Chains A and B, each alone.
Chain A
Amino acid sequence: MRVKIRAFGIAKEIVGGPVSQLDLKDKATISEVKDVLSLKYPDFSTLKKFSIAVNESYQDDDYVVTEGDELVIIPPVSGG
């Protein structure tokens, strides 16, 4: 399936804009989403870490993505 993923902070620079399109296999997990991202944009491997939020919440690596999920790349946060 083809999904849209939003990006903030340095992730926005790495993917070249606020949104990227990813081709995922059906029942892809968050872990696989990270792998696809790192393959498409090797600079993700230079980050301290990055997480994926689904529908405005952090999700574990084994969460299975379903059609309609709102995916967002969360690079290391630095508020405050």
Chain B
Amino acid sequence: MQEKIDIQISDQELIIDSCYSFVQHEGAGGNALFVGSVRSQTSGKKVIKLEFEAFESMARKELRKIAEAIMDKWQALGISIHHRTGTLAIGEIAVIIAVSAPHRDAAFEACQYAIDTLKVTVPIWKREYFDDGAIWVAAHP
């Protein structure tokens, strides 16, 4: 059977349908899709743009670990995770996660697990730019 895991890190615009199409499976009864986008403010402060930097080779490995855990734990039928790098404007897509599974509970839970774990383990860093400077998100206590 063809492996149903698709991991991509790209400095080009992310395409939702690319992830959604990838996870299509005739045994799937639920397809969960999470799309993370760049919001216009953080803690009341206006955000101008974001930059994502990745340690790409390791980030791909860590994303694959997440995908393999999902295939194993939730018997997912397909998973696609795409993460953006480079400069992003407000409203642009930063990350897409698509999971297909036989039933909706598994699809929802797996999708949530993927984004929650990504935020803890995958070596990608976000820099937020404001009118008066920039910060690396989550760097300091």
Contacts and interface: CB of A to CB of B under 8 A. Distances in A.
Contacts of A8: 53-55, 123, 125
B84 to A, nearest CB: 9
A79 B118 CA distance: 7
Interface residues of B, number: 29
- Which bucket holds chain A's interface residue count? 20 to 34
Contacts, number: 79
Given A8-B55, A74-B55, A47 B123 contact: no
A47 B76 CA distance: 37
Interface of B: 36, 52-55, 57-59, 61, 83, 94-95, 115, 118-127, 136-141
Contact of A78 (B55, B57, B61, B137): B137
B119 A9 contact: no
A64 to B, nearest CB: 20
Contact of B140 (A46, A72, A74, A80): A46
Contact of A53 (B36, B58, B119): B58
Nearest to B84: A79
A80 B138 contact: no
A76 B53 CA distance: 12
15 contacts: A8-B53, A13-B136, A47-B140, A48-B140, A56-B58, A57-B58, A72-B55, A75-B136, A77-B121, A77-B125, A77-B138, A78-B125, A79-B83, A79-B95, A80-B94
A10 interface: yes
